[in-house]
Amino acid sequence: MNQIKDVMTERVFAVGPNATIDQAISLLLDHRVSGLPVVDDEGLLLGVITEFDIIGLVYNADIEASIVGDYMTKEVNSLDVEASLDDAANIFCNDSIRRIPIVRDGRLVGVLSRHDLISFVREVRRQTSAV
């Protein structure tokens, strides 16, 4: 059975809880991602900040002073690096999220996106149809 560690993206753009919303927006736009894991100095996953979280700040007059920790989603679906892809598929099917932070002992080690999982399914289908 394939595990998340076989499919996840290890190069992850993350942000700290004390980063400004403007810094988070820059990371989202510069790296063309729709959300960022929020981690502490030890790499422990604290939450995520997404485009959806930020859209609500459009009319906030003091957005420059706003920090990620005040607006991030703290209740996050994450999975252990050793979890199965079935576990990830269940989360994607039941929740309207685009990515799952992947952890080892609570520390962020990667991200699995819907795109990653779909690409894996396509590759497996290509391999099995070639046999």
Position 109 pLDDT exceeds 80: yes
Res. 131 pLDDT band, cuts 50 70 90: low
Largest pairwise CA distance in the chain: 60
What is the bridge-based pairing of β-strands 79-80 and 99-104? parallel
Mean pLDDT of the chain: 91
Burial class of 23 by CB neighbour count within 10 A (0 to 12, 13 to 18, 19+): middle
Contact 95, 50 (CB under 8 A): no
pLDDT digits (tens, 9 = 90+) for 8-53: 999 999 999 999 999 999 999 999 999 999 999 999 999 999 999 8
Place of tokens 């999975």: 79
Residue 123: which domain range? 4-130
Total structural domains within the chain = 1
Q: How many CB atoms lie within 10 A of CB 101?
A: 24
CB 18 within 8 A of CB 68: yes
CATH of residue 54's domain is 3.10.580.10
pLDDT given at position 1: 66
Nearest Cα to Cα of residue 52 among 65, 35, 75: 35
- Would you state the pLDDT for residue 7? 93
